Amino acid sequence: MPSPRRYLVCDPGHFAVRYAINPWMRPDRPVDVCLAQRQWRTLVDVYRAHGHTVETVRPVPGLPDMVFAANAAVVVEGRVLGSLFLAPERRPESVPYESWFKAEGFDVHRPESVCEGEGDLVPAGRWILAGTGFRTTREAHREAQEFFGVPVISLTLVDPYFYHLDTALFALDGENIAYYPEAFSPGSREVLARLYPDAVTATREDAMAFGLNSVSDGRHVFLSPEATGLAARLTARGYVPVPVDLSEFHKAGGGIKCCTQEIRS
């Protein structure tokens, strides 16, 4: 069943690809900022049309990846674990997001280890699924468990195209997930198979179309329209796919989830 969600997003007015920190990024391929803004506004409108609250943080000039709000923090039961980005170019993004959360009355814990928010920390019911291998460190996984008091399940990513956990996996609801098995190490695949024997699995084609960089409210799944195979599998399980085109953001290695921070109070 769907449940109302509270999302935090950031306007892509300063969005650009000025450096390369993942295989998707090519500074020689220009970004159509007007198109990116239209796609982003459509996403916001779709969220609101489905009964969700959407709030915005003001973008900062010179921070082209600030639009990817999910990387800035992870929020569980009103507690905010901020970010410490691996790439020096992105580290300043933490400051405006921390200021936003503090202005809203949240206490923000600054991580001591490299930690990229919901990019690698995915709250999933009884535990937090945590990615490592390219960005967030295992030390940050331990830090998150101590801070939230929630069991953290470490998963190792092995394919650089899926450099963040949220490009290879997302929570459908409090009990199940969708994921691309080959993005993970053999041991991590076994862990996921044990924890989620009824998970929805995606093909590489759907994963490369950013089909797993999706957001679910428990019933509606906001996902890339190019991930047609995954949409069919979700429909067969009783979920309702809601296609939203964020293809301009794929140029930076991001999609729907990357642009969406969920505030769990």
Catalytic residue, candidates 164, 220, 250, 259: 164
Torsion of the alpha carbons at 180, 116, 262 and 148, rounded to the nearest 10: 100
164 is catalytic: yes
Amino acid of residue 66: M
Is 259 a known active-site residue?
A: no
Cβ within 8 Å of residue 157, ≥6 positions away: 131, 132, 133, 134, 163, 164, 165, 168, 183, 184, 185, 188
Cα separation of 162 and 169, whole Å?
A: 9
User: Contacts from 83-88 at CB under 8 Å and sequence distance 24+?
Assistant: 83/111, 83/115, 83/116, 83/117, 84/110, 84/111, 84/112, 84/113, 84/114, 84/115, 84/140, 85/114, 85/116, 85/135, 86/21, 86/114, 86/116, 86/135, 87/19, 87/21
Candidate list 10, 115, 258, 259, residue with the active-site label:
258
Task: Decide: 185 and 134 in contact? Cβ < 8 Å.
Answer: no
Distance CA 83, CA 62 (A): 18
Structure tokens that stand for 44 in this block: 């916001």
Amino acid identity, position 141: H
List residues with catalytic annotation.
164, 258
